[in-house]
Structures are given as C-alpha cells and as structure tokens.
Structure 1
Amino acid sequence: MRFGFRGRDVAPAPGLAASRTTLENAVLKATIAADGTLASLIHKPSGREALAGPGNQLWAYPVDKPRNWDAWDVEDDYAERGEQLTALDSLELVERGPHRAAIRVVRSFRNSTITQTYVLAANSPRLDIETTLDWHDRRVFLRTRTPVAARAMTATFECANGVVKRPTHANTSWDQAMYEAAAHRFIDLSETGFGVALLNNAKYGHNVRGNVLGLSLLRSPIYPDPLADEGTQSFTYALLPHAGDWHESGVREEAEDLNQPLLLREVSGLRQGTATPLAVGGIPAAFSGLKAAEEGGGLVFRVYEPAGRRGDFAVTAPGWTAAPVTILEEPQQRDAPAELMPFEVRSWRLTRG
C-alpha cells in the first residue's frame, strides 16, 4: 500500500468489445437477454459461468404494508406477493469506446420508469449496473435478485471495519429472521476456488438465500413521509465474479473503487515522477483515515484489518515520526502477539522530525 502519485499516459486495456446484447473485455463476457436480465456472465480467467439463472432480475412487491412502522419494517412474508418486471421499453447499445462500453435498458412500472445501464470498462473485473429511478408509486418494494453459480453455508457481509458471516439457509428461527440484513459496500458468496460479489454504492438492505444474492433498491412507504422515495434517484451496483476467496481477489478494493473512484485531472507542463509521503508494509490492511490530530498538532493515520488476518505491519513516513495512539488519540501501549490483529483498528500520530 502506497499513498502517492505518478504521472503517465492512460491508455485503454485491449480487448473491449460490445454489441447490442454483449459486453466483453479480457476478464468478463456479459450477455443481456431479451427481457433485460443477464443471460450469462462468464469469468474468463477461470472459465466459469458466474450465473445459475437470469441475473439482475428486478422484482416489485406491490403490497408493501408492514403491520407496524411503515418506513422501518419489512415483513417476513413480503416475497410471497412479488412480480418480476420483464417488459421493456427499450434495449440499446449506447456507448462503445476504447475505455468503456454500455447497454441501456429502460422499463416502465405503473407510473414509474426504471433506467439501467450495464457498463463494462476496458480493464474492469466487474460489471456495473448504473440505475436511475423516476419513481411515482406508493408502497412498492423494489429489489434485484441474482442466482449465482456458487454454494456455501454462509455469505460474507461487509460491516464497519470488517465483515460478518450470515447463513444462506433458514434452518432455525434466528436464520429465518435474516431475510433482510444490513451490509455496507458488498456481500459475497464464495465456494472453494470461486465466488461472486454484489457491490453497491448507496444501498444497504441485502439477503442471500441459497445461491441468490438480493439487494433492496427502493421502498415507497407513506408514513411518516407520504412522498418517500418520490422523484428521481440514481445509484450503482455491480456484479464481481472472482477466483478464490473474497479477500484474495480484491472484492473490498473494487467496492472501495465503486464508492470512491479515483479522481483525475488533466494537466500539462509538469514533470513526471513518483512521490511517496506515506507508505505501509506487512499484511494487507484497509485505509480508514488521515486527519489532523484533535490536539497537539500533527496528523493521525488510521487503518484496519478487514479479513481476519494477523501479522506484521509497519508505517513509514519520511521526515515524520509515527507513534501508536488509541482511537481517542492518546498514547497506546499494546500487548498483542502481532502488530496487526484480526479486525483490529490501529492509529498512529504523525509528527514532523
């Protein structure tokens, strides 16, 4: 992990191709069905088909009337009254450039319009689904469902500074209660050697039942706000097939990129070079923050271990001194068998000299 910059020309990766129903690069080949769902998503490095049925199915549950707390509750029997949205207004190739290609699907549901654009970048291992809802209906629950070609007893849900494992079955009353569960930027279902992640940049209600990845896109309750979710909203979610387990294949990093994409600015008259004011070494860690210290000057640098590993970890900042501190930015005395423990949050105060 390095924090710095390097000037260079940005050339597209070779191999991006597109037609009205296919998007393909060196990593993925996606095929769009006539009803706008994903007919196929092939992970080319492994040769695996990632889907076990139509992907990105859109389902509307038009009787979303909880017994209590209209805007907060989701009833456990909501799925019994759903309808899949299969009719299309249009399906067309809207972009075919050297860096990315895109297919747009437009649907109507009652008084609302759903516009989804399947986007594949030239060097991307994920298929983005850019979604814009022009919503004018009440008490309708909208979800996406994708059956994937992977099976496991548990799925991985990202949470603050780590992950939790949740069951993919409903064997007990506790399991049954997890028909809707929170996750931050991704969920992942992996078997030995292969898995599929569902990433998002604005939606947090998920579930995994069997091999079906689900994401809640919209609810339109009438209390306490009678016009909740009314109007236009945009967000993106993505499917990421991968070899190996989620933490070996960059799932968290791709989710980070989806939520905080690299910002580029074209400049001229500058010399190319590399600068690394801050670097770390050791086991993989996730960047949490770099901020001004609350008291006493200097900066506070914070990371966390995201996957349950332990091992060596060191911070290097030329011209600065790095001293361990607690989350309250007080001097820290650690008594741990490794420099970074599973799911540990660590902070350092950086002072000049």
Structure 2
Amino acid sequence: EKEVGSNGQVITLIVSANIGPNGRPPTSTIRQRISLLPSGKGLQFETKLNWSEDRELLKVRFGHNVRSSSLRYHVPFGYVERANHTNTSWEQAQFEVCGHQWASIAEGNCGVAVLNDGRYGYSSERDVIELSLLRSPKAPDDLCDIGEHCVTYAYLIHEGHSHAGLDTIFSSASYLNSGLKEMSMSPLLKAANQLAGPLPFIRVSPSNVHLSSMKPGEDDPTQTVILRVFEAYGSRTSACIDLAPLIQARRYSEGAETRYVVSVDEVDILERTSEWRQEESVNKAEQDKDM
C-alpha cells in the first residue's frame, strides 16, 4: 500500500507492509510516513509497528558510498569515534555501538548520518549503517517488545565533519528529538510588552557552543538560574551568552534601580561555586590537621 501526498514543495510517502520473518505468514505490520526534513537535506521516517515476533531482531539498514575508516557516534555533550571495520578481535566485539541521537560517517566535505529519537543501538561496516529498532527477547519480560511502537529516525546528508557539517548534524538531531512543548509564557509576555522589538530570550555563540539546559538552582530556585553549556566539536573556543533585556544586569524604572542578575559564577556538577569549594577545602584541611 502506498499513498503519496504533496504540500507545496514537501512530498510525503506513506508505506504499509505486513511481514513474517523467515518465510512465515505475516504476523506483524509496519506503517511508515516518509517525508523531507525541514532542511531538505534528508528523509524522516515516522514508523508505527505492531510487533508480534519472538526473538527476532528488527533493524533498518542504510547503504552509502562514503569511504572512511571510522564513524562518529553521539554521546551526551559530544561524540566518540569507532572503527568502520573488523580487522581485530576487539573491533569484531564492537559489533554494536551505543549512540544517542546520531551516527555519522564522512570523507572530506561530504557525509551521511542516521538520526533517531530513542533507539540507541548502531552497527556499521564499510558501506552500511544499521539502527536496531526492536529485539523481542524473552527475558526479563516474556512479552518484551510485543505490541505497538512508534519510532522516528532520519537519513541525513551533510557537509562532512567540519564545523558546518557538525552544525547540520546537531541541529537536525535536536529538531528530531525536541518536538513541541506546551508551556505558559504569560508572565514573560506581560513583561515583554514593555519592549520595543522582538524578544531574543537567550543567544549562545559561536555555533559549536550549545546550551544543554536552563533550570532553577537547587539550593535557591527563586534567586538563581543554572545554564549548562558545552563545546560540542572538540575544539578550543571562547563563548558568549547574550541574555534578553528583561534579565540583563540592570534596569532603571522611575529613578529606581532593579537588579536582575547580581553575579555570574562557574559551578561544578553539584552547583557549588569556586569560592564555596575553596572554603570546603580549607575546612577539610583544618579537620585533617586536628586529627
């Protein structure tokens, strides 16, 4: 079954299939909606599965003609490289690699990537990249993976592993994984009415510096905000974070000064400032001396 729809420049292809592994009668169904990514550089596959198989591994396979001895796999706050061959016993044991949002192979100024929104098992050898979708094992749950599933993945063409190519990969993977989130903007919009132009809430530059999260501080959630940023491409860099006028350092109203940001400090993973850590180190040294 195939249905083709066109909306301006965007073409959507819907494909349905009944499958039965190893020549058996069909017991599972797959329905896919295939569409262009917003960038126009790849295809997005929205897949609905009704799975009834027992101990059958379901993978999607993408062929390519990119020549490279290694691939890059996304991990939190960056990526790792793994071999694209099985020349040694160690490489043979790495038949599947964990990658969070994407796996990419590139040569020079061209490459391809497979993006996903929640399936983390990748495998690759030479001119093939595979993504594991379902395993249907019998332990620890006898009905593991049996039933309905919704999986989204994409096949992306990019500009290699240069900064431009990594920009394309990260932005496309972020789009695939973010989705739309509903939230109340009333307090912010009420304050934004006092501004003359549009409100850029926060801007981080250059492009290889990414804002991972923004949240209230754990110790003082009403007075502190935590921004977690990281350099994604493995390069030395300097970063600039521009805050919206509503939350910049000072604002004057009818002669009175209102401070929105009092200070900016670097903190560790427990949200402790360097000054706090120095005090803790001194106290610990004094305790050790007393002992």
TM-score of the superposition, structure 1-length normalised? 0.63
**1:300 counterpart residue number:** 226
Which gives a bigger RCO, structure 1 or 2 (Cα 8 Å, sep 6+)?
Answer: 1
How far did residue 283 of structure 1 move?
5.8
How far did residue 279 of structure 1 move?
2.9
**2:269 counterpart residue number:** 327
Check whether the contact 1:125–1:240 (CA below 8 A) recurs between aligned residues: yes
How far did residue 316 of structure 1 move?
3.4
Q: Per-residue displacement from partner, 1:45-86 (whole Å, max 9, x unpaired)?
A: xxxxxxxxxxxxxxxxxxxxxxxxxxxxxxxxxxxxxxxxxx
**2:46 counterpart residue number:** 130
Residue 101, structure 1, aligned to residue 27, structure 2: no
**1:43 counterpart residue number:** none
State the identity as a percent: 31
How far did residue 101 of structure 1 move?
2.5
Structure 1 alignment gaps of length 5 or more: 1-89, 334-353
Aligned counterparts of 1:236 and 1:125: Cα–Cα separation in 2: 16
Residue 141, structure 1, aligned to residue 57, structure 2: yes
Matched to 1:301, the amino acid is L
Q: Greater Rg, structure 1 or structure 2?
A: 2
Given candidates 190, 199, 214, the residue that maps to 1:275 is: 199
**2:176 counterpart residue number:** 258
- Structure in which a larger fraction of residues adopt helix: 2
Aligned-residue Cα RMSD (Å) equals: 2.3
Q: Per-residue displacement from partner, 1:225-246 (whole Å, max 9, x unpaired)?
A: 1111111100110010112326
Residue 168, structure 1, aligned to residue 75, structure 2: no
How far did residue 327 of structure 1 move?
1.6
Check whether the contact 1:289–1:302 (CA below 8 A) recurs between aligned residues: yes
Aligned counterparts of 1:205 and 1:148: Cα–Cα separation in 2: 19
**2:258 counterpart residue number:** none
Greater shift, 200-209 or 246-255, is seen at 246-255
Residue 289, structure 1, aligned to residue 213, structure 2: yes
Q: Per-residue displacement from partner, 1:227-269 (whole Å, max 9, x unpaired)?
A: 111111001100101123264221011101100035589xxxx
Matched to 1:230, the amino acid is I
Aligned counterparts of 1:282 and 1:96: Cα–Cα separation in 2: 37
Check whether the contact 2:13–2:33 (CA below 8 A) recurs between aligned residues: yes
Q: How many residues align?
A: 240
TM-score of the superposition, structure 2-length normalised? 0.76
How far did residue 122 of structure 1 move?
5.8
Given candidates 103, 125, 128, the residue that maps to 1:212 is: 128
1:184 aligns to what SS in structure 2? coil
Greater shift, 305-314 or 155-164, is seen at 305-314
**1:150 counterpart residue number:** 66
Structure 2 alignment gaps of length 5 or more: 21-26, 184-189, 250-260, 276-291
Check whether the contact 1:196–1:242 (CA below 8 A) recurs between aligned residues: yes
Label 1:122 to 1:176 Cα distance change in 2 as closer, same or farther (>3 A).
closer
